[in-house]
């Protein structure tokens, strides 16, 4: 079985580390919050360029930049399920010039990484939610099962040989895979990769059997017919994928998950700066170009009342509690 991009051993932190000075390179220093922003803002993405979180980030940077009057520069800092980037942003200058975009992994990190060097609810201020991306259950094009029910039965009968790809410990595809195995009542051989790209490449190439990942990563492959698609993991069907039933409709009612994304700044960032970032985010999420592009990717901006620090904080807290139970006994090595 091919292993392009696959992690062969322990997660390695050092290679992904970037000096904090680089993160602050676009920063404007500790000026008066009333004058913010006076220089470019850096948005740190904890995953690879071209991946789902990177894609969502780049959709909102231009309209946010127009609102703020400065450039927003995206920097990809990979490593350890997003914890490398998050840890660095937690320690960055609290001046609003270093912003973190993270997904649901912010809520799972405390469970997966017991020696985490930051606390999501204590070391950050939330800016607002951006989008909740549906997940899709897909497989290599020639995989035998044709429905989700058939997939569950096939997996149960062939648990020792079936392979489930993911983009690495703590990734959205890993989390969905955990829930899917729990919903099916079976454990299979998981194959972690260094990112969504290599995982999808091997799935399309037939080296692994199936995958659960975000529509922002799977919609094109589904529409082009290079993979077999079974279901979406949302309570309601996804408009851009009208032929796919929900997991509940297809026989797995316990498989329901979306991957929410949100913006964060270091905890000591002045509220006045956070308010400006929140306002720019809300403006971006009402931009028709952003709405249309998200629709093409099978998702949508959150409602305005969700693109706020309070709504974001409430969800983060609830999700930390939820995933601590779901991931009980599972830790990154």
pLDDT tens for 309-332 read 999 999 999 999 999 998 988 887
- Inter-CA distances, 295 with 120, 200, 220, 298, Å: 30, 21, 12, 5
Tokens (6 digits) for 20: 């904090």
pLDDT for res 177: 95
pLDDT for res 30: 56
333 pLDDT tier (thresholds 50, 70, 90):
low
SS3 content of the chain, % helix, strand, coil (to 5): 40, 20, 40
220-225: Cβ within 8 A, 24+ apart: 221/138, 222/136, 222/138, 225/141
Instruction: Flag whether pLDDT at 28 surpasses 60.
Output: no
Residues 117-126 pLDDT 10s:
999 999 999 9
Q: What percent of the chain has pLDDT over 90?
A: 79
Q: Would you tell me how many other CB atoms lie within 10 Å of the CB of residue 154?
A: 18
pLDDT for res 9: 33
Closest by CA position to 233, among listed 180, 164, 300, 167:
180
**CA dihedral (164, 317, 256, 135) positive or negative:** negative
Instruction: Flag whether pLDDT at 16 surpasses 70.
Output: no
- Lowest mean pLDDT segment, chosen from 4-13, 217-226, 237-246: 4-13
Q: What is the pTM of this model?
A: 0.83
24 pLDDT tier (thresholds 50, 70, 90):
very low
Instruction: Flag whether pLDDT at 74 surpasses 50.
Output: yes
Distance CA 136, CA 240 (A): 12
Q: Would you tell me how many other CB atoms lie within 10 Å of the CB of residue 318?
A: 11
Contact present, 301 and 290 (Cβ < 8 Å): yes
The CATH T-level fold of domain 14-132+260-326 is D-Maltodextrin-Binding Protein; domain 2 (3.40.190)
- Lowest mean pLDDT segment, chosen from 44-48, 125-129, 286-290: 44-48
Q: Residue 204: helix, strand or coil by DSSP?
A: helix
* Domain 133-232 in the same topology as domain 14-132+260-326: yes
CATH of domain 133-232: 3.40.190.10
Distance CA 160, CA 158 (A): 6
Residues 126-169 pLDDT 10s:
999 999 999 999 999 999 999 999 999 999 999 999 999 998 88
Domain ranges of the chain: 14-132+260-326, 133-232
Distance CA 122, CA 40 (A): 26
pLDDT for res 318: 96
CA max distance for the chain: 64
């Amino acid at each position: 079985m091919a292993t392009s991009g696959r992690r062969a051993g322990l997660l390695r932190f050092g290679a992904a580390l970037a000096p904090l000075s680089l993160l602050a390179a676009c920063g404007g220093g500790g000026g008066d919050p009333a004058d913010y922003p006076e220089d470019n803002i850096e948005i740190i993405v904890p995953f690879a360029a071209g991946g789902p979180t990177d894609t969502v980030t780049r959709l909102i940077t231009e309209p946010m930049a127009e609102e703020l009057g400065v450039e927003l520069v995206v920097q990809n800092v990979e490593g350890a399920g997003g914890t490398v980037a998050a840890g660095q942003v937690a320690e960055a200058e609290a001046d609003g010039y270093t912003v973190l975009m993270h997904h649901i992994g912010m809520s799972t990190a405390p469970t997966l990484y017991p020696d985490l060097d930051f606390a999501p609810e204590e070391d950050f201020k939330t800016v607002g939610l951006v989008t909740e991306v549906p997940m899709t259950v897909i497989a290599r094009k020639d995989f035998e099962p044709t429905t989700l029910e058939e997939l569950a039965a096939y997996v149960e009968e062939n648990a020792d040989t079936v392979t489930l790809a993911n983009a690495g410990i703590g990734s959205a595809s890993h989390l969905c895979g955990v829930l899917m195995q729990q919903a099916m009542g079976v454990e299979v051989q998981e194959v972690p990769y260094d990112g969504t790209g290599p995982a999808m490449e091997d799935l399309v190439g037939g080296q692994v059997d199936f995958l659960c990942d975000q529509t922002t990563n799977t919609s094109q492959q589904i529409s082009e017919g290079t993979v077999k698609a079974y279901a979406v993991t949302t309570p309601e069907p996804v408009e851009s994928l009208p032929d796919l039933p929900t997991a509940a409709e297809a026989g797995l009612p316990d498989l329901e998950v979306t991957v929410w994304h949100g913006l964060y700044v270091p905890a000591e960032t002045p509220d006045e700066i956070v308010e400006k970032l929140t306002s720019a985010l809300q403006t971006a999420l009402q931009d028709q170009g952003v709405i249309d592009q998200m629709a093409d990717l099978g998702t949508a901006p959150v409602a305005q009342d969700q693109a706020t620090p309070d709504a974001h904080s409430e969800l983060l807290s609830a999700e930390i509690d939820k995933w601590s139970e779901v991931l009980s006994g599972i830790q990154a090595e």
